[in-house]
Amino acid sequence: MPLFTTAFPLAVVAIAALVGLATLQRASRALGGGFLVAFGLWWVYYVREAVERCDAFNRQPNGSCAIYGTPEQLALAGCVVLLGTFLVVIALRRETARAA
């Protein structure tokens, strides 16, 4: 996850580019939104796994592990999931309006 820890501005640019691509093209809103939802859920899973590994390491004798920024990472991943869900809902609304 070095993209989000050491090069945070790069991560912001990458996410902004994905959002821009997903919102500019009407045909790709559902695809881009689905990608953002999948990416956000993967991110939450990755953070959860890291926290569990750190907890398991701390239960060992002389184990010392600390994770910082977990709530911030989860909040950002949640925002990505919400944005992706919003894009999918917009795409579905347009499709149902066009079909009716």
pLDDT in tens, the chain (100 residues): 444 555 456 667 667 776 676 666 666 778 788 888 888 898 889 889 989 999 999 898 888 888 888 888 888 889 889 988 998 898 888 777 777 6
For the record, the structure tokens of 91 come out as 């795409």
Where helices occur in the chain by DSSP H, the ranges are 2-5, 8-24, 29-58, 70-99
The residue among 44, 31, 26 whose CA lies nearest residue 80 is 44
> What are the sequence ranges of the domains in the chain?
2-99
Report yes or no on whether pTM surpasses 0.85: no
